[in-house]
Amino acid sequence: MTISMLGDGIYVVALAWQTYEISNAPTALALVGIAWTAPQLAFVLVGGVIGDRFERRRVMILADLVRGVAIAVLGVLSLTGALELWHMFVLVGAFGIGSSLFQPSFRAFVPDVVPPGLLLEANALDQFVRPLATRLVGPAIGGSIVAFVGLGEAFLLDAGSFAVSIACLLAMRTSSRPPEGARAPMSLWRDVRAGLSFVRSQRWLAGTFMAVTVAMLFFLGPVYVLMPFVVKNELDAGAQGLGLVFAAGGVGAILASVTLGQRGLPRRPLTVMYLTWALASLGLVGYALAGSLWQVMFVSLVSIAGLTVGEIIWITALQRLVPARLLGRVSSLDGLLSYGLVPLSYALTGPVAATLGAESALLLAGLASGSVLCIALLLLGSVRETERAHPGLRVILGSTESDLERAVPDLQRGPDRAEQPAAAGGPQIARIGAEEDRADRVAEGRQT
């Protein structure tokens, strides 16, 4: 996985630079971003269901194969000088489909192989290795390869990293199992509805999804389109300069993950999560005001550190407060709802920057994104209720169904309790589980 993440860091720099080599306008990179994210949104629910039905290691292998082939073709076209924007749209779209299969399975795979009590440490380790590879070492390598070797070679190196990842996954011998695949088949829509029902029953979860959806509308398009534009055109820093900016963010992420891994979760983790995400959003303001490369690097370090703290808390919360049987689907809903407006974000970034200027667009976007998160934290009382019920997320609910029943006795599953409404704001796992069990019994009867 680490080698694949190194390739991702190379890919981010090469993709932005390749796009601006073909068309030096923010709109071009915005369109590439839309082509990348739209397929992820279209397929992410399917990816979550697949991750809950089938052996997750095999799903990740398939996803890496799709992504590796797409990037290899991109590299060959770049080397031959035949690459056009429409090629990039198609190939990054295929890459996005692969990501929609990989991410839900990867998130749900971690609790399969890590003891529940070590989930925080595992997530902190992931958030240490990931930024080290994707934001520090990978971009630094990518910037150097683009500057001194070529864009095509950078893409091919990334494609090779997926081959290494596939080889490592094939060599793994784990206890990962198909949580739903071994059971009687259910319809795709029924599986999705089970995940939706759980999210609706958790007001803190649904509210966070909605807040992040709006915040990402203002954040992701500007940070991925306008920050590279500022580095290239306003600061004239070159591909190596962009690599250094990503690398500085990697340093911030590493520092954040090490600190959180050693100190543990705060007593009010969800509040800290919201505040650190808001801090990361305000990094856009820093990019707008920065007048030199080192200032952009410092902003990247602080912003990504905040983003990483929030991400570690968020992933740990999902793994501990979501039942294992639903984790793949809830993770896919996380991807869909959190990033649902990202294609629109990319689509708006280019025209807004062309009208107001890149710096003004970054300034307004940062203020808007940070404000959304702060307002949501103030309005979502369910966030504080969840923190009071599970201080520091120390009650582990997500590992097995029996853990859930012991932690919340009034949610025991069974025919006599399944239809009883849960307490206000509490999980409705019993009803969801009963629906799935009834579907299983019907399917088994048909098979006999």
End-to-end CA distance of the chain: 43
Residue type at 394 in one-letter notation: R
Q: Which DSSP state fits 348?
A: H
Residue bearing tokens 């949580």: 179
Domain boundaries, the chain: 2-393
Helix (H, G, I), strand (E, B) or coil at 138: helix
Q: Which of 269, 251, 250 is nearest to 260 (CA)?
A: 269
Task: Decide: 333 and 48 in contact? Cβ < 8 Å.
Answer: yes
Distance of alpha carbon 334 from alpha carbon 318, whole angstroms: 10
Burial of 187 (C-beta count, 10 Å sphere; 0-12/13-18/19+): exposed
Place of tokens 């509490």: 426
| Residuewise pLDDT in 10s, the chain (448 residues) | 667 788 888 888 889 889 988 887 777 888 888 888 888 877 877 777 787 778 888 888 999 999 999 999 999 999 999 999 999 999 999 999 998 888 878 877 777 777 767 766 777 777 677 767 776 778 778 888 888 888 999 999 999 999 998 998 888 776 555 554 444 455 666 777 777 888 888 888 889 989 999 999 999 889 988 998 888 888 888 777 888 888 888 889 888 888 887 888 888 899 999 999 999 999 999 999 998 999 999 999 999 999 999 988 998 888 888 887 787 778 777 877 777 777 888 888 888 998 999 999 999 999 999 999 999 999 988 888 888 877 666 544 333 444 433 333 333 333 333 333 333 334 343 343 444 444 444 334 444 4
Q: What is the phi/psi pair of residue 180, to 5°? A: -110, -20
Cβ atoms 68, 163 nearer than 8 A: yes
Q: Domain 2-393 in CATH: superfamily?
A: MFS general substrate transporter like domains (1.20.1250.20)
Q: Contact at 8 Å (CB) between 46 and 331?
A: no
CA angle 261, 264, 268 (to 5 degrees): 135
